[in-house]
Each structure stands twice: as structure tokens, then as C-alpha cells.
Amino acid sequence: MDHGAADQVYRGNLDRLVSKIDEERGIDLSQYRRAYVERRVASRLRSLGLHSYRQYIDYMDSNPAEYHKLLDTLTINVTDFFRDSVVYEIFCKEIVPAMLNEKMRTRHRMIRAWSAGCATGEEPYSIAMSFLDAMGRKDTKFLFNVLGTDLDLGALAVARKAEYSIDKLEHIPKPLQLKYTEVHGEKFIIKPEVTKHVRFRQLNLFTDRPINMVDVIFCRNVFIYFNREQQERVLEMFWSALSRGGYLVLGRSEKLASSLVGRFELYNGRERVYRKPKSV
Ligand SMILES: C[S@@+](CC[C@H](N)C(=O)[O-])C[C@H]1O[C@@H](n2cnc3c(N)ncnc32)[C@H](O)[C@@H]1O
């Protein structure tokens, strides 16, 4: 077989694998970057000692548990408390006070945050701790909640438990550690006064209907998995989910797709913070 023909068989088999997973599990991997899917599938092939997509498709037929293994490989849950801490400083010192002023001015009490692609929960709990701390004594005036969503049920189960290994504690600023965490041996928990403000739900950003009237969305280090078109669709959905003047916080290496640039205002370019205009 010449090189071009071999390439076509290779691509054809990957396409077959992608549509098989979509048909049987409803997960559309064509939405992910192709090179990313190739890399992750290759790592499964290596650990199973298989040499082609064809063999992998056969293997999945006789080992349905492999679907979960592949999805686990695709949804990498690496995360941390206060990841890229500067963005949380901006959040506490600028965004929360501005939000509270606006809420007081418009006589609204409800403040909603959404951590989209929250993995094992460190991000939504960081948002909640920052928020509660920044709100200080005003907390009786406002009703505040954070929704953490992810595709991965295993990650969400860890998030709901709100218990983490002690080596993660150092990422939480000391004053917040003292206020909002409790150490139990080699683990620590997030105190109920924080967890009572945080809920978790499985949500696939490609297909599920989102929540609305959100004041701030954190969607960090999730777009790396998506192709451009998919990023645009998710950003459109975020735009609709945000209330006017609401904030969108992306990951440090992520930016707005060019077709969405006019729809959001740039709030902080370095930290990738955007805003839905107040008048739309
Ligand atoms: C690297 S983690 C990011 C965690 C956190 N936002 C942070 O920045 O530390 C990416 C998360 O996105 C989730 N994810 C990937 N594709 C998704 C999709 N289509 N819908 C919802 N979550 C998805 C993965 O399951 C994973 O937990």
C-alpha cells in the first residue's frame, strides 16, 4: 500500500472509532481536536498492546468497560485550588466589589457563579472561599451560590465529598485555610459554611442546556480540548447564560474565538477576563 492509501485507511478507521463512540455512548469526539483524540487513543492502544484503531474497535466490542477508560483518558481532571492565583486576586479585589455595588444599586440579592468544567471541585470551592471572604460582613445581604459542572461523574463525586489530600492545602492562601478548612490527619475538608454555597451537576458543554442569569463564569483549561467551531458554540452559550455586565474568566492559554471578540468587552487581557456589555 502506498503512503497516501495507508493514510486514508488510518483516517477512515479513526473516523469509524469516533462515530462508534458517538452512536453507542453519545459522546461526540469529533468536537475535540483531532490531534488530541489521536494522542489519547494512542496512549490506550499502547497500554493494551494493540497496534491499530481496527483492533481497538474490536477490543471495545468485547470489553465495553473500555469506553469508560477512554473517556477517563480524554477528560483530564488536573486542577488545583487557586490555580493561577492572580486571577483570584482580581476576582476578590475588583470583580466581587463591583458586583456587590451593582447588586445593591439594582436591589438584587442573588449572585450566581458557574464553574464550567470544574473537575474535582477545587475551582468552585476557590471561587466560593474568595467570594465569601471578599463579601465579608455583607454576606447577610446577599444570596450567593456556585454551580460546578463537569462531564465526568467520577470527578464530580470527588468534588461533592469536599475532602482533599493535605498536599493540596498549600495552594489555598493562609487566611482562607484558617477560616474555611479543617485538617483531619493526611486530609483536609472544606467547611460546611463554604460547601453549603456550592452545588454540582453533570453537564456536557456540547449538548446540555445551561443555566441562565449567571454573574460570573469560570471556564478555565477546558477549551484546550475543543476545536475552534466548538469553542465558538460554547462561547455563544456562555454569552446567553451571562447576565448583562457578567464576567467570563478563561484559562491563561485560552482566548476568545475571533468571531466572539465583538460580543464581549476585554476586562483583563493578561488574565483572560471578559465581560458581557451592560447594554446589549
Ligand atoms: C483540566 S480540567 C480543568 C479544571 C478547572 N477548570 C481548572 O482550570 O483547574 C478540564 C475539565 O473539563 C472537563 N470537560 C472536558 N470536556 C467537557 C465537556 N464537553 N463538557 C463538560 N466538561 C468537560 C473534563 O472532564 C475536565 O474535568
Number of domains in the chain: 2
Q: What percent of the chain has pLDDT over 90?
A: 59
Band (5; pLDDT cuts 50, 70, 90): low
Q: Say which CATH number the domain at 99 has.
A: 3.40.50.150
Same domain, 111 and 234: yes
Question: Is residue 152, in this structure, part of any structural domain at all?
Answer: yes
Residue 189: predicted pLDDT: 98
Question: Is residue 280, in this structure, part of any structural domain at all?
Answer: no
Band (185; pLDDT cuts 50, 70, 90): very high
Q: Of 40, 44, 83, 112, which is the active-site residue?
A: 40
Is 150 an annotated catalytic residue?
yes
Residue 176: predicted pLDDT: 97
Same domain, 116 and 223: yes
Range of the domain at 36: 3-74
Same domain, 144 and 17: no
Same domain, 114 and 230: yes
Residue 207: predicted pLDDT: 86
Is 40 an annotated catalytic residue?
yes
218 Cβ neighbours under 8 A, 6+ residues apart: 113, 114, 115, 116, 123, 124, 127, 249
Identify the domain boundary among 15, 47, 74: 74
Higher pLDDT, 138 or 166: 166
For 74-97, what is the mean pLDDT?
A: 90
Q: Is the pLDDT of residue 225 over 80?
A: no
What are 114-135's pLDDT values in tens digits?
A: 999 999 999 999 999 999 999 8
Same domain, 99 and 212: yes
Same domain, 125 and 154: yes
What are 96-110's pLDDT values in tens digits?
A: 999 999 999 999 999
Same domain, 66 and 92: no
pTM equals: 0.81
Same domain, 210 and 245: yes
For 213-221, what is the mean pLDDT?
A: 96
For 215-233, what is the mean pLDDT?
A: 87
Identify the domain boundary among 33, 54, 74: 74
Higher pLDDT, 167 or 1: 167
Please state which of the ranges 24-28, 186-190, 276-280 shows the lowest mean pLDDT. 24-28
Identify the domain boundary among 74, 100, 116: 74
Same domain, 24 and 150: no
Q: Say which CATH number the domain at 59 has.
A: 1.10.155.10
Question: Is residue 80, in this structure, part of any structural domain at all?
Answer: no
Question: Is residue 217, in this structure, part of any structural domain at all?
Answer: yes
Q: How far is ligand 1, taken at its centre, from the CA of residue 147, in Å?
A: 14
Q: How far is ligand 1, taken at its centre, from the CA of residue 219, in Å?
A: 8
Same domain, 159 and 260: yes
Pocket test for ligand 1, best of 22, 126, 151 (most atoms within 8 A of CB): 151
Same domain, 145 and 251: yes
Residue 3: predicted pLDDT: 55
